[in-house]
Structure formats: structure tokens, C-alpha cells
Structure 1
Amino acid sequence: MPERETETVFLVEAGSSFELNCIRKWIEEHPRHSESDAKLVVIGDARDGGHKELKTLMDGGDISGDPWLQPLRVIWKPSEDVRHGKSFVNTWLATVFEKPGRFRQKLMGGSAPDRLRVAEGQGAFLSTVRERFDETWGSEGVRTTRLPEFVVRQAVIALDRAERSIRGARYKVARLLMGDVVSSPSFQRDLGALAGTLGRSLSEVETETKTYLDEMSARQTPVSLDIAMGLYRRACRSHHDGNIDYEPEELEQLRQWMEEGPVVLLVTHKSMLDTMAVSTVLFEHNIPVPLTFGGINLNTFGIGRLAANSGVIFLRRAFQDNDIYKATFRRYVDYLVEKRFSLMWALEGTRSRTGKLLPPRYGLMNYVVESIVRTKTHGLRFVPVSVTYDQITEVDDYVIEQ
């Protein structure tokens, strides 16, 4: 909270009237927030233009001076059955409907109030946020008329951090994707040059870019992480011992590295369970699960949506002849590296199907290394991970394939 007397502007991310009422009640119950001159602005979601109401108020002079900006959000915790994948129906519903609808919100608010909580993001003075804007967007030539959009994005980032502190460190989710990637001035220049080379309009190239971005992007959400990790856990234990063996000292070393900065886990690939096992161990020890690169063939009905929402980046096997796709993927990797998200993929590119290691494929590594150089992002570690089995479950399938 501010150390001096000032106007407070609540930046509220609320998707329904019920959530908005919950936040209003929360403000009333916290005297330090109930200033008579406080204003409440519903920012919605920055990906859906939630900055428009704030821009209207700032342009109209309703918000002036140097107010304190305080982000607030309602978060919904999943039931234990959903978290551990015990109920198929509840799991399926939670996958399709990431946030409960208005009717379920009212029902849960009365029957399970412990699953509802107001998250309070780190606030800041408007002048402080304006300085950040000048240092980042402003330095790239973005006009100050987009300051409200930047304010909302900063508020959502602060709320994500607050939500992660409530749910646990494992819930470091990727958000604000479409706007951050497409609106980058340098990327816009690249798209303009590409449109000229291909003899197409910029709008056509942007539309195709957004299609590819929507296809490949990992839209991580806490509910989907809970569901996916519950299913991963069951898959790993279905044909193996209930406990996954690991080296405690090495896991703690990895935790320390991930607290210091992003890492890239390069996993051996002998089974479909490889990345599932690694993700399960990390999640159970409250360590953020890296975004995982996977083949586009996994993007099937039902499974694809859950996988994307739990951190899988769907990548086409071959795209060297598609300049727009390459440019989009390059910019997406830049975005992930700039935001310091940890990544994971199989260095061999495909399962060995023999139980032995295959020669590494350096395509993805080249993209990441080039991005590190291009974005001048330092401190990223590459960590090799070996996953071994007493018995590989797919061995019978390998024999049939041979």
C-alpha cells in the first residue's frame, strides 16, 4: 500500500457480476482499501482489450494526478477430485470450462466458499508504471496513447504472481500471449518486410500469423495443470511402481537453478512417459513445470486442448518452406525467452524405439540459442535429464512396428 495519502484505483479482473460483487465486498471488509475517493475499474482480461475502460477514464480526466493502482482478482480452486483426476466427469467439465460459470459460481460461493479467494497483486503508483512504460515500450517507439494497455498488462502480471504465491510456485503460467507477440514493433517490421517479399498485404500476413500462434501457443492455466498432472501421475503409475525414483540432491539443485533463472531441460526419449514423469516429479515438489515442445500430431480433439492448457507447445514437424510460420515461431521463442519461461523437449526429437539413445537433433536448440543472442537474455541454463526404465511399456508396440 502507498506510504502517502493518494487516490486509489482498483484494477479488477472480474469475469462476472458475482466475481465483481465478491471483490466489492472484499474491499469493504478491508478498511485500508475503503477510501471514499477510490475508483474501481474492471479491466477484464488484457488479451480481450480490458484496457478500454481504463483508457476512457484516463482520457476523460476521471483519473488524474498520481493514483495508487491496486490489482485484484477472484481465483477459483479446483476440487480434490479434479486435482487428482479421480472423477472423469468433473475432470472433463473443468477442462472445457476453466472457470466456473455464473450459476456454478453462486453455487460454489454458498456451498464451498473455501474454493474462492481474492488475490491482491502488488500495487504501484501510476508514475512508477509510466516509467516502466518509457523504459520498455516507449524505447521501441510505442506511443504514450497505449499507456492504459501497458498498465493493464502490468496489473495482470502482478495478479499472476499473487495467484502463484497462493496456489504454489508450480503454477507459473504463460499469459498475455497474442498481444505481446503480435504488437511487438520489431515483429511488426519483420511482418511488413515479409509481406512485401511474398507480395501479400500486411493484414493477410498478420491473420495467418495469429492462426499459427494460436495453434502453437501454450495457454497454461492452473486448473488444466492440476488435471494434466493428475492424469500424468496415473499414467506413470499404471505399469510401474507408484514412486518415481530421483536424486534428491539433483532435484534441489534444479529447484535452485529455476529460482535463479530459466532452464531448458533436454530429456532422453525412450517412452511417451518421459516428459510426463519429469513433469510429475517437478509438480509434486512445487517446482514450476516447464513449457514442453510436442508434435502437432498430439493436437487431437479433447487431448489437444488439455495439453495446450497445461503447457504443451504444438510444433509442426516440417516448416522450413513456410516463411510466415518460421517468423511466428521465432518471435514466440523470443517471447518465452524474454519472459524467462523454462522449456523442455526431447533432444533426440523422437522416441528411439530401441531403448538406446539416438543422435541429437539441434533444430530447437538453434532457435533458443539464437533467441538468447537476439534478445540479450542471459542466465539460461541447459540441463540434460536422463529417464530410465526397468521395463519400457511400449516395447511390444516397438516389436510390432519393426
Structure 2
Amino acid sequence: MNLEDIYNTKNPWPQRGSQQVLFILDVRNDTEESILRGWIHHFGDQDNKSFEAPQVCIDLKDERTGFDSGQLVMSLALPADTLIAPLRVVWTPGGNGTTSLGRLRHLILGDPRRPSNRRGKKVLEEHPDRVHVIAGQPDTMANLRQRFEATNTVTDESAQEGFANFVARQAAVVLDISERHVKGGRYKVPRHVSAAIMANSDYNKEVQKLAEAQGKTKEALMKEAATYMKEMVSTPSSFWLDIYARFNTFCLGLGYEEDIVYNKAAVEKMRQVVRSNPSILLWTHKTYLDGMVVPKVMYDNDFPMPHMFGGANLNFPGLGHLLHRAGAIFIKRSFQDNELYKLTLRYYIGYLMEKRFPMNWAFEGTRSRMGKLMPPRYGLLKYVLEACHTTNAENIHIIPISISYDIIRDVEEYATEQTGRGKGAESLKWFIGYVRSLARPMGKVYMDIGEPVVLPKAPEPDDKLALSKIAFEVAVEANEVTPITFPSLVTMSLLGAAPKALTEDEVIEDLRSLLAWSESRNLRISHDFNRAFADQMEGLLGIMIDENIVTRYDEGPEVVYGISLEQHPVASYYRNTVIHFFVNKAIIELALIKASEQAEDCALAVFWKEVDDIRDLFKFEFFYAPTEEFHQQIRQEMARYSNDWEELLGQGAAGFGTMLQKMSPLVAHVTLLTYTEAYSVVASMLARKEANESLEQANCISEALTYGRQAYLQRRISSESSIGKLLFKNGYQMLKSRSLTEGGMESLKEERLELARELRELLRRIDLIRAVGVANRSSSP
């Protein structure tokens, strides 16, 4: 291949009649300029052009220094029908394409797709197949000016320069579109964002209003806004996206299997959604690695890199530099009183959504320290939807993504944090240590994509109820697509039997029972869940045994498995990842026991009251369907065991026994015991106080941590997994919702005591379920 072969790939001259053509050459050095001028002349000579088209050289790729648009300003004084045609040289890497990019040597030698003048000449001589010439979609001067004046602030002093910068930005956009046909869709990135926002007429009007309200000049606020944009606006590029992709692959590959488990068809479906609609990807948050999983899957599938909101705790030297250049948006921790900052952030988000750059962040706003989905924080979702409201965005798609792991390195740290021990601050030194700690086998990573929650339009900014409903829908869908994995079922089985250990046959029987129950209800089960686990128990349990989550004893006549008491907090984490699937069944079991102990003529009413009471008791722990739908779910579950279940309830203990025999596996003791014990701790602690004593949340958590430890030593609670800050925090919310935390009249003392008694009664029924489950299990001789 030679230069003539490169030129013949496409004609740079746009189709025209008598219209003048202005070429904008996006060049960084003499080599690129020479190639593009040669391309123009190559076809100009062939067609015997009667005039030489003007050519303006400008570097459109440098985001930091802005444009040197002086030459372009002069060239734009051409007739309105002049066609503006942007051209660019694209350099592709040698070797195996993207697999050869992002290596350490490129940090030292530079991006092979942006060669220096000297290296470019060498590549052109030795590897001309790596050189491509592209043309962006041309447009007329008149069309560009009309679009400029419709969306940009125009003043006499800066009109020509502003228009020139607008033309340059549009040239960069159309060239990027053409370039992605050569390089791939993963390199779609926003360009010159700050300049576009600063020139936006609506933004300028709002800054002017703010300046008048604050008694400042608009120029002063625009200067201040520029500093905010420098902080928050991410500047992703092909080079840093490659570096980040290799970094993610390296970190995840230290402990996890190479291939992330996901559905390719679901990723393709998401691609179509994101391409056509303003989109938000919200993923469940369990570990620092979550932020690497989505980008890796997106990059591997040639998907445009979503912009990620990053916690300020990760914006430290080294990692912060990389993330900012790979799409991360770091925003201030608190800016409620900074109207200019909020305005600027809103327009930045609006710009990204309007241009179809998807946003993504951790849905809950904090890592789950307990395995289950955390209550969401609305801050980021609120700001993004406000931006959508400002830009009149339609058909906003919020896509829930569940990220799961066989084993998580952070869980032991979470367990100790929940006992009250603080965590260290993030830093470069901390991060290096964290990455090193990943180098141990931890199984697989799973990414599951839920059905989008679609908003025809964004709600009004002050509509808190609409925001909470949207977040609830996303949470429910995220839970629905969280897969059941082997570690989640193993820990569920062994914690249900604790403190007793189980033989291998008993574990297999439990797993088959739990899996059959899950499959009959069409629950999401990991795509690669091996149903032949009975043939390879040692291999499947090996990692969990090595991590001391599961204990294996093989010195007796049979091999037995169990979970030691000190490992209950860790094991509970893995069980909790799927606990939401079993909550309704647990509520049914406990309500059935209470109904069976009542007079036969009121058993059904007692059953439904207890169903609703337990649902309300744990409303700060789990996401339920709306009341009517929830009741229908309960009816459907009961009908699976007997179509005559309402009549059986009226038969008292006999009917209860008939129902319970059909309800294997029993799950109330393994699903709700931890939460009931934790709530019992805070309720008993509060019952000790005088009626006129109030209880604040911080004091509640502090006192409960010490009181809970005492209760465990006295074996009034079964394990340390029931002692934790998050459990006690939600327990306090439950007390507060029942108006029991504020001191009051003497009657309050009895109300507090009554709640403590109700929780002890609930624990009694949970123990009964456990006893029935043990009795039903077939034991080995």
C-alpha cells in the first residue's frame, strides 16, 4: 500500500454544484498536514478543479488549550452556501488492534494512534496500512450559523470568534463519528464540553439571573464556573480508555476468572436502548471492584464508555488522574448552598444526556456492608433527573444492573466495621495494598441487566414522592435480576442448620431443595450454575473453605460441613445477596404459626394481620411490592401448597401441620432471624429506659453494639451476625416510625415493653420453624 492507495479509499470533495468548499484540516503536525493536502490535491487534479479550495489547519483534538481559531475566523467570511468539509488522519495500532493497546510502554512512549511528526513519517513509510484518511459530514455555512445562533450566546464583540469555535466543535464531532467507523464504538466520547456549555445561551441567561440575585457580575460568575468545570468535567480519550480497560482487566483478573458471566443478548439490547434514548445505568454496589465490572463489559463489547460518578474518596493522586480521563465525574461532597455549582452540574449532566452519553453510578450511593440491596440515596438521581427536566428529555431509560461475586475480598472488613471499628481513609498507599490483596482465588463475577424503568418525562424537581417511586422501581428490578449463585445457597443451607454441621448428603439435599424451589418460581439463577454440584462438592466448596467461610471436617466416618460462629457475619453476607427472594415465604411461615395458635374461626384474619405486621416491621430492610400486589403474591405462594389453604387455616394445628409438610424448604429461621434478633436488641434496650427518656440514633447504635454483645454472650441472640451498625440503624428507624424514641407519658413505657415482648414472641416462632426444619431433615445413621 502507498499514499495513492490511501487516498483512493474516498473522495474528500463533497458533492456540489457551483458552491465553494472550505476544508478544515484537523492536524497536529507537518506529516498529517502533508497527507491531507495531498489527498485534496489528488482528487482535485483528477477532476480538474477550476479553483483551489481554501484550507484551514487546526488541532481539534486538544481539549486543554482550546482552539487556535484565528485563521478560521477569517475564512468564515465566505458565501453562505459555502460547504465546510472537515478532514482528519486516523492512525491505527499495529499488532492485534485493541488487545495491543493500553500497555505500560504506551505510558512512556505515547499513544501509537497519535504519533509524533517523526514517528508518523516512519509509520507512513513502513506500515502505510495503519494510515487512514477520513472526511466528516460536510455542512453549509448558512446551516451552521443558524444552529449556532439558536443555541449560543451571541454578542457583537465575540460573534465571529464564537462562531468559529462552534464550527470547529462541529467539525470535531462529525470527524469523531467517521473515526469510530475505523476505531470502534467504544471510543465515542464527548468533546469540548466546557466550551459548549459556556457558550450555551440558556446557561448564560441563568448565570446572568444568578449574578443579579447575588449582586455580582456575570463575568465573575462565569470565571468561577470555569473553575468548577475544570474540576467536574471528565476528559476521556481513546488512549486513557485503553489504559483503564487494561487496568480493570488486570485488577479483576488477580482473583477472579477471566470471563465475567453475563448475557450478550442483554448487552446488545442495552446498546440499542442507550443509542436511542437518554439513559442511566444504575448498578448494585458491593465492593470497590464494581466500578470496574461495567466498564470492562462495555469495553469488551465495543460499547461507548458510560460516564461514572465517582466518590471523592477515590479522587487521590494516581487513581483519580486515571479515572478522570476514563469518564469519571468527581463532584464536591456538599454543594447544597452553592447555586452556581448546582447550575453548572445540571447543565453538564443535561449535555451528556442530550448527546446520548449514558451515565452510570452505584445505585445505593454506598457499598452494601450486608450483601442485600441498601436503601438508595436520591442525591445523584435527583440531579440527573433535574437536568433531564431542564433539557426536556423524553423517554429516559433507567437500566438496573446487578453485579455479584462468588467471593468478595472486602466482606471481612465489612463485618468488623459493623461491630463499630472504623475504616481507614482511602489513599494511593491504601489502594496499592488493596489491589495486592486481590491476588487469591475468588471465583467468578456476574453482571445481570434488568428491564429499564422508562420515564416519558422527568418528574418535577420538587416531586419527592415521584423520585422515591422511581428509586423503588429500580430497586425491585435490581433485586429481580440478582442471580442465585452457589455460595449464596451454600451459606443459606449451612446457616439454617447452625450451629449443627451437615454431612455432604445433607448439604446436597438442601441445595437441591432450595434450587428446585427457586426454579419453580422462575427466579434468576446464575447462567453457569452447575446442576451437577453433587459430583464435585469439594471443588465447588474449595474456595469457600480456603477463605474460612465454610469449615470442613473429614476425620470422622463422614465428611461434614459447617460455619463456625465467628464466621456467621461473613457467611451472612453471601446469604443476604439472595435473601429478598425468600422474604415472602418466611413471612408466610411465621404468620401460619401464629394463625394456628388462634381460635379456628379467626385464624384467617390473624394470618393476614400477621403478614402485614411483619411486612411493616421490616419495611426498612426489604423492598416490597405495593400492598395489593404483595397480598396477591402471598395468595399465589399459598396456592402452590394447597388450593384449599384458607380452609386448612380454619382447621387450627391440624391444618397448619398439613400445610407445613408441603412447604419444604422452610426458610424463616435463615431469612429473618438476624433482623429479628437485632431489632430485639434495640427494642429491649429502649424498654429499659424511663418513659420520659428519649433516644437518638447515634446513641442507639452505640448502646446497642455493647448491649448486643452482652446478649450474645448470654446466648439471648444466636450469633454475632445480629450485631451491626446498619442493623441497629434500621432498628432505630423502626422504633422511630412507631413514635417510641421520643420521651413522653408514662404509658410510653408499656408501649416500649410491648414491642420488646412482640419481638421475643417472633423469635419463639422462628425457633419453632428451625426445630421443624431440623426434624424434617433426613439424618444419616
TM-score for both structures, normalised by structure 2: 0.47
- Deviation string, structure 1 residues 310-367 (Cα, Å, up to 9, x no partner): 1111122222132332222122112212222111011111211332221111111111
Matched, 1:228 2:244: yes
Deviations 1:158-182 (A, max 9, x none): 1111112211112110112111111
Amino acid at match of 1:132: R
1:133 aligns with 2:151: no
Higher mean C-alpha displacement, 15-24 vs 110-119? 110-119
CA distance in 2, matches of 1:376, 1:210: 25
Of 20-29 and 142-151, deviating more is: 142-151
Local SS of the residue matching 2:55: strand
SS in 2 for 1:117: strand
2:207 aligned with 1:194, yes or no? no
How far, CA to CA, are the matches of 1:322 and 1:65 in structure 2?
Answer: 43
Q: Is the 8 A contact 1:353 1:398 kept in 2?
A: yes
Deviations 1:179-220 (A, max 9, x none): 111122222222233334444443332222111111111111
**1:10-44, Cα deviation, whole Å (9 max, x unpaired):** 11111222221121122233457883421111233
Distance 2:224 2:118 in 1: 37
CA distance in 2, matches of 1:337, 1:142: 28
Inter-CA distance 244–16: structure 2 relative to 1 (3 Å threshold): same
**Partner of residue 57, structure 1:** 75
Q: Does 1:21 align with 2:34?
A: yes
Equivalent position SS for 2:403: coil
CA contact (8 A) 2:306 2:327 kept: yes
Superposed, 1:273-288 pairs within 5 Å as 273-288=289-304
2:182 to 161, 166, 173: 166
* Distance (Å, rounded) in 2 between the aligned partners of 1:33 and 1:204: 54
**Shift of the alpha carbon at 1:101?**
3.5
- 2:21 corresponds in structure 1 to 8
Tell whether 2:281 aligns with 1:265: yes
* CA shift digits 1:289-325 (9 cap, x unpaired): 2111102232232322321221111122222132332
Q: Aligned ranges for residues 189-338 of structure 1 at < 5 Å?
A: 189-338=205-354
Aligned-pair distance for 1:229?
1.0
**Given the superposition, is the C-alpha separation of residues 336 and 219 from structure 1 closer, same or farther in structure 2, using an over 3 Å criterion?**
same
Distance 2:227 2:47 in 1: 42
Distance in 2 (CA, whole Å) between partners of 1:317 and 1:350 is 13
Secondary structure of the residue that 1:119 maps to in structure 2?
strand
Q: Is the 8 A contact 1:82 1:94 kept in 2?
A: no
How far, CA to CA, are the matches of 2:257 and 2:48 in structure 1? 54
* Cα drift, residue 3 of structure 1: 4.1
The change in CA–CA distance for 1:86 and 1:136 in structure 2 (over 3 A counts) is closer
Aligned equivalents of 1:80, 1:395: Cα separation in 2: 41
The alignment status of 1:345 with 2:380, answered yes or no, reads: no
- Could you tell me how far apart the structure 2 residues matched to 1:80 and 1:224 are? 19
Look up the equivalent residue of 1:54 and give its one-letter code: L
Q: 2:394 — aligned with what?
A: 378
Relative to structure 1, the CA distance from residue 23 to residue 134 in structure 2 (aligned partners, 3 Å threshold; closer, same or farther) is same
CA distance in 1, matches of 2:135, 2:227: 34
> Contact (CA 8 Å) 2:86, 2:137: kept in 1 or not?
yes
Whole-angstrom distance in 2 between the partners of 1:40 and 1:33: 18
| The 10-residue stretch of structure 1 (333-342 or 49-58) with the greater mean CA deviation from structure 2 | 49-58
Question: Percent of aligned positions with the same letter in both sequences?
Answer: 33
Answer yes or no: is the 8 Å Cα contact 2:275–2:356 preserved in 1.
no
| Partner of residue 483, structure 2 | none
Aligned ranges 1:75-90 → 2 under 5 Å:
75-78=90-93, 83-84=98-99, 87-90=103-106
How far apart, in 1, do the equivalents of 2:163 and 2:233 lie? 26
Query: d(CA) in 2 for partners of 1:377 and 1:118?
Result: 36
Q: CA deviation at 1:88?
A: 1.9
Q: Is 2:151–2:201's contact at 8 Å kept on the other side of the alignment?
A: no
Q: Is the Cα–Cα contact under 8 Å of residues 188 and 304 in structure 2 kept in the other structure?
A: yes
Partner of 1:38: 53
Query: 2:278 touches 2:354 (CA, 8 Å); kept in 1?
Result: no
User: Cα 1:269–1:34, aligned 2, differ >3 Å: closer, same or farther?
Assistant: farther
Number of residue pairs matched?
396
The separation in 1 between residues aligned to 2:48 and 2:262, in whole angstroms, is 50
- Cα separation, partners in 2 of 1:221 and 1:33, compared to 1, 3 Å: farther
Going from structure 1 to structure 2, the CA distance change for 1:80 and 1:358 (only over 3 Å counts) comes to: farther
Contact 1:78 1:115 in 2 (8 A): yes
In 2 relative to 1, CA 45–213 (structure 1 residues): closer, same or farther, beyond 3 Å? Answer: same
The separation in 1 between residues aligned to 2:119 and 2:216, in whole angstroms, is: 47
Counterpart-to-counterpart distance in 1, 2:110 and 2:316:
18
Which TM-score applies when normalising by structure 1? 0.89
Contact 2:20 2:83 in 1 (8 A): yes
Q: Could you tell me how far 1:110 is from its partner in structure 2?
A: 3.8
1:116-161 superposed Cα distances (whole Å, 9 cap, x missing partner)? 3222111123233334335444xx7667644333322221111111
Question: Which residue does the alignment assign to 1:368?
Answer: 384
- Change in Cα spacing, 1:225 to 1:79, as seen in structure 2 (3 Å) is farther
Residue by residue over 1:76-117, the C-alpha shift from the partner in whole angstroms, topping out at 9 and shown as x without a partner, is: 33455994467423245548x984433443444444444432
CA RMSD in angstroms, aligned pairs only: 2.7
Q: The residue matched to 1:383 in structure 2 has which SS?
A: strand
Structure with greater Cα Rg: 2
Matched letter for residue 249 of structure 1 = A
Contact in 2 for aligned 1:219/1:309 (Cα 8 Å): yes
Secondary structure of the equivalent of 2:405?
coil
Specify the SS of the correspondent of 1:349: coil
Structure 1 counterpart of 2:777: none
Is 1:239–1:393's contact at 8 Å kept on the other side of the alignment? no
Counterparts of residues 70-109 of structure 1 (less than 5 Å): 70-78=85-93, 83-84=98-99, 87-91=103-107, 93-94=109-110, 99-109=114-124
